[in-house]
Structure 1
Amino acid sequence: MISVAVVDAETPGNVGTIARSMKNFGLSDLLLVDPPELDPDGEAYGFAGQAREDILPAAREVSFDHLVENYHTVACTATTNEDDSSHVRYPAKTPAELADSLAGVDSDTCVVFGRERVGLTNDELERLDEICSIPASADYPVLNLGQAATIVLYELRGLTVERDQHPDDLHARADETAVEGLHEEFSTFLDTIDHPEEKRHRVRRLFRRLVGRAHPTGREAKTLRGVFRRARGRVEATTRERRADEE
Structure 2
Amino acid sequence: MSDGEDGDAGEEATEAAAAARAAETAETVADRRKPVVVVVEPETPGNVGTIARAMKNFGLTDLKLVDPPEIEEDGEAYGFAGHAREDVLPNAEEVTFEEVVANYHTVGTTAITGEDDRSHERFPFKTPVELRESLKAVDAPTAIVFGREGRGLNNEELSRLDEVCSIPADDDYPVLNLGQAATVLLYELRDLTVDETQLPDTEVTRAPEADVERFHDFFDEFLAATGQREHVREKNALLMRRLLGRAHPTEREVHSLLGTFRKANAKLEHADHLAAKYDEPPYPKEQ
Question: In the TM superposition, what whole-angstrom CA distance separates every residue of 1:96-149 from its partner, at most 9, and x where no partner exists?
Answer: 111110000000100000000000010000000000000011100100100000
Instruction: Tell me the CA shift for residue 166 of structure 1.
Output: 6.2
Residue type of the alignment partner of 1:63: T
1:21 aligns with 2:75: no
Question: 2:90 is matched by which residue type in structure 1?
Answer: P
The residue number in structure 2 matching 1:78 is 111
Paired positions, count? 169
SS of equivalent to 2:37:
strand
Secondary structure in 2 matching 1:88? coil
Tell me which of 140, 154, 161 is aligned to 2:194: 161
**Contact in 2 for aligned 1:80/1:122 (Cα 8 Å):** no
Match of 1:94 in 2: 127
Q: 1:211-236 deviations in whole A, cap 9, x for unaligned?
A: xxxxxxxxxxxxxxxxxxxxxxxxxx
Q: Deviations over 1:58-91 (max 9, x none)?
A: 0000000001000000001101355222323511
Letter in 2 for 1:124: E
Distance 1:168 1:130, change over 3 A: farther
Relative distance call for 1:125 and 1:47 in structure 2 (3 A) is same
Bigger-Rg structure (1/2): 2
Which position in structure 1 is the counterpart of 2:165?
Answer: 132
* Residue identity opposite 1:72 in structure 2: H
Identify the structure with bigger relative contact order (alpha carbons < 8 Å, sequence gap 6+).
Answer: 1
Corresponding residue of 1:6 = 39
Q: Distance in 1 between matches of 2:141 and 2:157?
A: 19
Given that 1:9 and 1:36 are in contact with CA atoms closer than 8 Å, whether structure 2 keeps it comes out as yes
* Whole-angstrom distance in 1 between the partners of 2:140 and 2:63: 17
Q: How does 1:190-205 map to 2 (within 5 A)?
A: none
Task: Spell out structure 1 runs of 4+ moving beyond 3 A.
Answer: 163-169
Aligned to 1:31: 64
Q: TM-score, normalised by structure 1?
A: 0.65
- Distance in 2 between the 1:143 and 1:9 partners? 15
TM-score by length of 2: 0.56
Relative distance call for 1:135 and 1:168 in structure 2 (3 A) is farther
Structure 1 position 120 matched with structure 2 position 153: yes
- Sort the Cα spacing of 1:29 and 1:166 in 2 relative to 1 into closer, same or farther, 3 A: farther
Deviations 1:176-213 (A, max 9, x none): xxxxxxxxxxxxxxxxxxxxxxxxxxxxxxxxxxxxxx
| Superposed CA offset, 1:161-186 (max 9, x none) | 114766799xxxxxxxxxxxxxxxxx
**Distance in 2 of aligned mates of 1:25 and 1:50:** 12
2:5 — aligned with what?
none
The root-mean-square deviation of aligned C-alpha atoms, in Å, is 1.8
Tell me: CA distance 1:70–1:165, structure 2 relative to 1, closer, same or farther (3 Å).
farther
Give the corresponding residue for 1:65.
Answer: 98
The letter for the 1-side match of 2:177 is N
Q: 2:83 aligns with which of 39, 47, 50?
A: 50
Decide whether aligned partners of structure 1 residues 124 and 132 sit closer, same or farther in structure 2, where only a CA change above 3 A counts.
same
Distance in 2, matches of 1:16 and 1:6, equals 11
